[in-house]
Structure 1
Amino acid sequence: MNRRHFLKTAVASLASTSLPRFAMAKTGDGTFQLEAVKGKGRLYGDEGGLSDLWLFNGQLPGPEIRVKRGEWVKIRFKNSLEEPTSVHWHGIRINNAMDGVSGLTQPAVQPGETFDYEFVVPDAGTYWYHAHHMSWNQVPRGLAGPLIVEEDEQTFESDTDITLALSDWRLDDNGVLDTASFGAMHDFSHAGRLGNWLTINGQNMPEIPVQKGRWHRLRLINMSASRILDLAPSRFGAQLIGLDGQVFDSPREVDGTIQLAPAQRMDLIMRPEGDGPVPFETMTGQPYTFANFTISKEANNDDLLRLPKANALPEPDLENARSFPLVMAGGAMGRMQSATKNGQELSMRELAQAGDFWAFNGQAGMGEKPFFSAKRGETIILESTNDTAFPHAIHLHGHHFRVLERNGKKLENPDWRDTFTTQRGETVKIAFVTDNPGKWLIHCHMLGHAASGMMDWFEVA
């Protein structure tokens, strides 16, 4: 589907929960073509009006890019918007020059220009890509898509390997995307841009076909700007097998709910046995159904479960680690009185006038000097404290880390993550090996929080 055809049909790309797989759209030299364009779509369904969206290749979400572990990926990105942008490959331990952070790892791609992204994907798993220039404005308009790195040995057939991109949207009374509220200072200083409408792969209340008696892999990606989703996999017969692209040695039963914060992913397995439909819910105080699994009647009782193998990530050396504090402060109802910005101490009133409400370690936004500098191969421990009134989802670029402790208590499962959630007043300790050279961003993935002060960078020699 080219751009002209999309603009004529307006909503054709929102018609199915099945995502087009970009592995079939290579050019002759093996390069993917990815383009940021303006388009329109009905987020509310047939009863809603047409929303103005920004899209990758005219699709919502962007096309699912599927590659194999260890593959050299080449993507020619064209910016057909009227403002600069860039593309970040979230969760991939990527070459620093290809990380897509405008102003840190590359210049922003100007309107009408192209940029060639070339990188190796070292780890299998569920990842995603999204705009990383004025992300608070561009991602919640639609500039995001799945990036799936397949294992060496295929463990699920293509029809039972299902990607589900979850997004919340702020719609007006006509069911149209509310664009006037982008950049609202109330959102920046509170919980972020929270929507009032949920979609899966661009649809609300879709029917997700699954097959009775067969094992399915569900890849959930939270592409929301700020919304934390509470899910209860056991309510639809699912087990957890991985987080943020990193699979476990064995499946886990989830007792109660598990959070999926903005930018986080979770991999589930399920084997439908009933006749359906089975509701897919968020747990916002009470169950809220936003999709249904529809089950085929043919049973396959001989289907054996084969789980993917875990990636080989460098284990932190805790005995020889260096530790750094990461204190989050600011926001409405916070206790921050002042912070440093561009080397100058500013009061909270002065910061707010400049559009800054948050700080890491007393600094609002990135400074000229890095948060810390590390040698390649060092182990770094970050001890974070959330001294704010709101939760945050903290993302480390270019690395995965183990979550070791919460509120001083060691975790039974110190899982690998690239984004961790921290609640009001909570302390979280993480550890990782600085095995990837370059300048790397660390920021809150409530995108308005990052834009208004909650970001910094670190350097690996």
Structure 2
Amino acid sequence: MTSIDRRFFLRAGLTAAGGALLSACSTSESTTFVQPGGAQVRATETARRPGRAREFRLLAREGQADLGGPTVNTWLYGERLPGRPIRVQAGEVVRARLVNRLPQETTVHWHGLALRNDADGVPGVTQPTIPAGGEHLYEFTAPHPGTYWFHPHHGTQLDRGLHAPLIVEDPDEPLAYDHEWVVVLDDWMDGVTGTPDEVLTELTAMAGMMGEGGHEGHGAMPMPTPTPSASAKWPHMMMNAESDLLGGDAGDVYYPHFLVNGRVADAPETFTAKPGARLRIRLINAGGDTAFRVALGGHRLTVTHADGFPVEPVETDALLLGMGERYDVLVTLKDGAFPLVALAEGKRGMARAVIRTTRSARAPRADVRPAELDGRLAGYDQLQPAQAVRLAARTPDRTITLKLTGTMAKYDWAINGRTYDPKVIEAIRSGERVRLSFVNQSLMWHPMHLHGHTFALAGSGLRKDTAIVLPGKTLHVDFDADNPGLWMIHCHNVYHAEAGMMSLLGYEA
């Protein structure tokens, strides 16, 4: 690894107006990195041949959200939960002005897009934070069609209501379907049991009380008694979330609600169509600490895309989505009313919506568990990339090993035993085939996300930007270094990331 040296900090500085420093230049080993707004970044953007610009305004604000009964005070983009989708065609330019009316600074990260580096939204790396009362213009080409989304990259703000879909349409769409439905899955506690900041405080405070030694570093003070929900002493912790699919411990945080498109299971959103209609569902997991197992009662799903990139079509009963993952599926609708259920994996709760094709059909019960949830589940091993997006065979020029370390007891989540330090950057070079080896040495699963690129899973070649790494397992992924800048790699469990499981890649200038 290399470190940005003291000269950089003196040059970049921390200004009261900017609120963050821009990472860029020299290291103590005399390595110079491509700057987020530098010439190489601008040249790469020009090579994308930007099309017409589409104007959008994002208002980040405090407000109330109706979850379908419970009404909560939270933070929102505009008036909706989730925020209103942004839609553009591949090759068009997104020109989005963020107006910050929150009580604190923020940024916007455009998750999954291979966009220009200075629009990536990482505070202190690609931009200063946007202060309360301030504005910032994001402008970038959306190069690849697919299902993406956007959210803050500042503190625990992601676990409030600040997220929305970003749909990049294919002007030469090869799929045939009658309707499209964007489905955003979420776990929710904000304004009900507390705030995400209070959750992080509790998790880290508990860790500080555990001390050294004992199983998982529990120390002399015992861990809280396992319960299926929170306890009076630890109101935000879930100590009994277990899943074989996730290798054991399914998550840290207790959520009183799980949502589909901002609605609780007792007041579900209903999508209506005619029997026989072909429906495209774009699934997005916007949760902070929860994986969802998704199925549609009475139907099989045909998987067409993973994280925005096409796959060879595969039929499945269910799908598992870690935080930050997306899947597109096609389904031919039957006659009746059917539950779309997102089981909070290992957490004994669920989100749901309803698809209705017959007005007189009886609505499914709120607690119904479709048999498809326990049927065939298409995992990474069952999915192959479409030929058009398969990376060409090539031996990696560089391998970077990223050990995922830490424990629940100490809450010391890190990469290679080091909590996030923006001065520490893994150097890569343009044109290289880079292999990332995620070695999970912890007892928890981690959905690992790479900014600015879509990688290929070694073996299958499946294209993704976020992938689950199970406890005790190693996942190798490859990508071509073709998008210069400074890019983050991190766990998409927002609490693991904020505890320190983040790192940076930098292109040598």
The normalised TM-score by structure 1 is: 0.77
C-alpha contact (below 8 Å) 1:71/1:121 kept by paired residues: yes
Deviation for aligned residue 1:360? 0.7
2:121 counterpart of 1:100:
yes
Identity %: 31
CA–CA separation in structure 1 for the residues paired with 2:177 and 2:401: 44
CA–CA separation in structure 2 for the residues paired with 1:320 and 1:156: 33
CA–CA separation in structure 2 for the residues paired with 1:58 and 1:177: 22
Alignment equivalent of 1:295, drawn from 345, 351, 357:
357
Query: SS at 1:331's partner residue?
Result: coil
Change (3 A) 1:320 1:181: closer
Change (3 A) 1:159 1:257: closer
Change (3 A) 1:58 1:331: same
Corresponding residue of 2:145: 124
Alignment equivalent of 1:268, drawn from 329, 335, 341:
329
CA offsets 1:382-402 (integer angstroms, 9 cap, x no match): 111111111111000000001
Query: SS at 2:124's partner residue?
Result: coil
Corresponding residue of 1:36: 60
- The amino acid of 1:218's aligned partner reads I
C-alpha contact (below 8 Å) 1:171/1:197 kept by paired residues: no
Matched ranges for 1:160-239 at <5 A: 160-170=179-189, 176=192, 178-179=194-195, 181-186=198-203, 191-205=251-265, 206=268, 207-232=270-295, 236-239=299-302
Corresponding residue of 2:247: none
CA–CA separation in structure 2 for the residues paired with 1:194 and 1:414: 35
CA–CA separation in structure 2 for the residues paired with 1:69 and 1:99: 18
CA–CA separation in structure 1 for the residues paired with 2:175 and 2:272: 15
CA–CA separation in structure 2 for the residues paired with 1:159 and 1:178: 41
Query: SS at 1:253's partner residue?
Result: strand
Change (3 A) 1:130 1:281: closer
Deviation for aligned residue 1:156? 6.5
- The amino acid of 2:168's aligned partner reads V
Change (3 A) 1:58 1:287: closer
2:486 counterpart of 1:424:
no
CA–CA separation in structure 1 for the residues paired with 2:331 and 2:204: 37
Q: List gaps (5 residues or longer) in structure 1.
A: 1-28, 299-308, 334-351, 405-409
Corresponding residue of 1:315: 391
Query: SS at 1:450's partner residue?
Result: helix
CA–CA separation in structure 2 for the residues paired with 1:157 and 1:241: 11
- The amino acid of 1:33's aligned partner reads R
Q: Which moved more, 1:179-188 or 1:431-440?
A: 179-188
CA–CA separation in structure 2 for the residues paired with 1:259 and 1:217: 18
How many residues are aligned here?
Answer: 385
C-alpha contact (below 8 Å) 1:234/1:253 kept by paired residues: no
Corresponding residue of 1:252: 314
Change (3 A) 1:265 1:68: same
Q: List gaps (5 residues or longer) in structure 2.
A: 1-52, 208-236, 238-250, 361-384
Deviation for aligned residue 1:314? 7.7
The normalised TM-score by structure 2 is: 0.70
CA–CA separation in structure 2 for the residues paired with 1:388 and 1:319: 29
Alignment equivalent of 2:439, drawn from 371, 376, 385:
385
Deviation for aligned residue 1:94? 0.5
Q: Which moved more, 1:152-161 or 1:118-127?
A: 152-161
- The amino acid of 2:292's aligned partner reads L
CA offsets 1:95-115 (integer angstroms, 9 cap, x no match): 000001111100000011111
CA–CA separation in structure 2 for the residues paired with 1:269 and 1:187: 42
Deviation for aligned residue 1:223? 0.5
CA offsets 1:315-365 (integer angstroms, 9 cap, x no match): 2653243112111111225xxxxxxxxxxxxxxxxxx6xxx6112112111
- The amino acid of 1:330's aligned partner reads G
Alignment equivalent of 1:361, drawn from 416, 428, 431:
416
2:493 counterpart of 1:446:
yes
Deviation for aligned residue 1:277? 2.9
C-alpha contact (below 8 Å) 1:71/1:120 kept by paired residues: yes
2:60 counterpart of 1:60:
no
C-alpha contact (below 8 Å) 2:98/2:135 kept by paired residues: yes
CA–CA separation in structure 2 for the residues paired with 1:426 and 1:108: 36
Deviation for aligned residue 1:171? 6.7
2:396 counterpart of 1:324:
no
Change (3 A) 1:360 1:279: closer
Deviation for aligned residue 1:296? 4.0
C-alpha contact (below 8 Å) 1:124/1:311 kept by paired residues: no
